[in-house]
A and B are shown apart, each in its own frame.
Chain A
Amino acid sequence: MKSLLRLYPIGLVLIAWEISARFGLVDKMFLPSLSAALLDFWANLGMLMRDAASSLMRAGWGLLIGGGLGLIVGMAMARSRFTEQFFDPLISALFPTPKLALFPLLMVWLGLGDASKIALVAMTAFFPVVINTFAGMKGVDKFLIWNARTKGASEFQVLVHVMLPAALPFIFAGVRVATSFSFLLVVAAEMLGSTDGLGFRILYAQRTFEANTMYAAILFVAVLGFLVDRALGLIGKRLLAWQDTATT
């Protein structure tokens, strides 16, 4: 209840939105009222749910593939100097490149279906995870590793029992950033070339002058993103409860 009360700024903005639309302060074509958007959401529930399922599936697979590769490559870079020297310049060059710029290319290669979107999300999710995994594993306290080694730990046991848990706060932060990137990218990609998904729905509604549906889809994306981030926050709190951080 207390955590819900803390969300009151969001409530205030929603109320302001409803009032300004109700009293005709803005054109209904530009900003329909919140209630109109919610009613439209209810009317188109089935369609929007199918769109959301497509978007979440693409974002999820992309995140899983990109994040998984990021984890593996980040671990390999921390373990071997050669791998580090191989991937470091590649990452430096590719990380700042807007991955969305590659989407037209991906569409040519992989078509208009799921594959091109999943690939785009994976390319984007890879970077925050690989960078954070590498940084986290490099920063593990030498004495923790020594502690395990003097108790008979093999290289693999050191990795599993010491380095990964010690790097987990970093890795988790990377996953969180990658997740929000995935949402951004999947919606953008669906706007550029798709026949379903929430991104497609927003753009299609705009083109057909269905302002209510457009806002319903935008709200849905926002709520989904919010819920996923909150869920990750809660998971992180449980997973990293051991961290000796200053509490607020």
Chain B
Amino acid sequence: MTATSTPMITIAGVSKSFPTPDGQIVTALEAVDLSIGASEIVSIVGPSGCGKSTLLYMVAGLVQPSNGEIGVAGRRVTGPDPQVGIVFQEFRIFPWKTVRENVMFGLELQRKGDARQRAEMADKYIQLVGLGGFENRLPKELSGGMKQRVAIAQTFACDPDVVLMDEPLGSVDSLTREKLQDELLRIWSESRKTIVVVTHSIEEAIYLGQRVVVMAPRPSRVVAAFDVPLPHPRTADMRTGPVMAELRGKIWDLVRGGIV
């Protein structure tokens, strides 16, 4: 699987700036160029405030770029599109809906199947993220990590071509986290979706991605992109192997340089 297939996401000269109340212009993101192939899984890593979330929101059509253009599947992004799913940071699921109702929500909006098929589809994804038995619970009864898994199931159940994930495993404990990383990779390899994962964990970025894009703050920009020379499926020994160590060191140096 190479990154040279037809591009699914093209980001060309995209920047974002905001006017502040006292009349100044703050640059949230400086001219980003990035191309992500269909069925590719790419990690974006960088410290807080490097604009990685803003970049995802723009690809999802939720925030308009100040300059440049974003295309998904050859069409210019002008607003949200059900073919581009996003999992937000910190479990933004609906507190008044049960786990099943949350996962079914997107299917209802998109009128996929009848009520029974939607429930079956939802249950399949609830099983997949390891929440079987919690279908009728309300979010308030779940831990942060469990809510995050509901959010992941909610987005994947809609079967979008592109899945953007903003620190999807940020609030999951480290044991569950490794399990969910493998689960995510398994879903990716079976579904061949294009997946972009934003994370602040360098190890997670390397373990998940075919490519790792490194961003740095002040000004927020892309500083480098690395191909990860590890085959899929990834195995546990790769988490600590020599490739991981070398790449981790390279990225660390870049990020450290960017912060100072």
A147 with B109, Cβ < 8 A, contacts A152-B82, A242-B138, A242-B140 known: no
Interchain CB contact under 8 A, B110 and A152: yes
Of A157, A161, A244, the residue contacting B95 (CB under 8 A) is: A244
Cβ of A148 < 8 Å from any Cβ of B? yes
A205 CA to B79 CA in the complex, in Å?
A: 67
Q: Interface of chain A, helix or strand or loop or mixed?
A: helix
Cβ of A243 < 8 Å from any Cβ of B? yes
How distant is A237 from chain B, measured CB to nearest CB, in Å?
14
How distant is A97 from chain B, measured CB to nearest CB, in Å?
34
B87: nearest residue on chain A (CB-CB)? A147
User: How many residues of chain A are within 8 Å of chain B by beta carbon?
Assistant: 21
B93: nearest residue on chain A (CB-CB)? A147
Interchain CB contact under 8 A, A141 and B82: no
Q: Which of B183-218 contact A (CB under 8 A)?
A: none
Interchain CB contact under 8 A, B96 and A165: yes
Cβ of B86 < 8 Å from any Cβ of A? yes
Interchain CB contact under 8 A, B94 and A150: no
Q: Which of A159-191 contact B (CB under 8 A)?
A: 161-162, 165-166, 168
Which residues in B have their C-beta under 8 angstroms from that of A28?
Answer: none
Interchain CB contact under 8 A, A244 and B96: no
Which residues in B have their C-beta under 8 angstroms from that of A162?
Answer: 94
Cβ of B46 < 8 Å from any Cβ of A? no
B61: nearest residue on chain A (CB-CB)? A150
Of B97, B139, B155, the residue contacting A244 (CB under 8 A) is: B139
Interchain CB contact under 8 A, B95 and A151: no
A165 CA to B26 CA in the complex, in Å?
A: 35
A158: nearest residue on chain B (CB-CB)? B109
Which residues in A have their C-beta under 8 angstroms from that of B139?
Answer: 242, 244
Of B62, B81, B90, B140, the residue contacting A146 (CB under 8 A) is: B62
